[in-house]
Structure 1
């Protein structure tokens, strides 16, 4: 026959575990709610940061156009992007050598521009800008001529 002390001790432990389980369940629910709220706040923060970046880019463009209008020189401010040149070349369906022939430079120059190793000079930037206005047919016609 078990000792009454050991029976009492085991019963106290069982009741204590039951109480703790109830308390921890409530804490788990609260933690889950907080995690959901944190995730929602992170999503809102990310959306707001994207909106700020978009507006900053837009205001940068507006400032650039205002400064261009105030300039006295006739040359427009041309931007260059290595990815943009590669995309333009692919849009026209041309090889780097064909683009080089259109621009009057070497194929290696076009390769270096697209890889970002070098930047074209101002005169070459104007020729690259004129590529944006060409269609596939017109580019092929210029190459054939």
Structure 2
């Protein structure tokens, strides 16, 4: 098994994930070791649409979107392990355990997204996930996701 680490730019990410603006929350994959781990980043800009209402006088990235960014990162790791055609593949976020938020994420931050593969059983993928800013944990959780293939002929 190769230990080669792969990185992916936004163009490759767009071929693997169905998400688009304003919900695509991964800008680049810095390291990807199939079947093991992934390190990606999200540049947090004041131009994000959610900052208009969360909160106007002190913009803070919603925790649920940090978790969504981690789930998208986990999806990219999953797709490195299972061949998929994004046009007929649905990646579902099916569970979360032990979610903790430890640091506010603000405009100008670079959110580092780390996911480690734990196990795959009965169609459910489990990951340990951690988001950091400047080496400080912003959020962490155990994520469970499922891959479903849709019938594109229907």
Bin of the TM-score, shorter chain as denominator length? under 0.3
* TM-score normalised to structure 2 length: 0.22
Structure number with higher relative contact order (C-alpha < 8 Å, ≥ 6 residues apart): 2
More strand by share: 2
* TM-score normalised to structure 1 length: 0.23
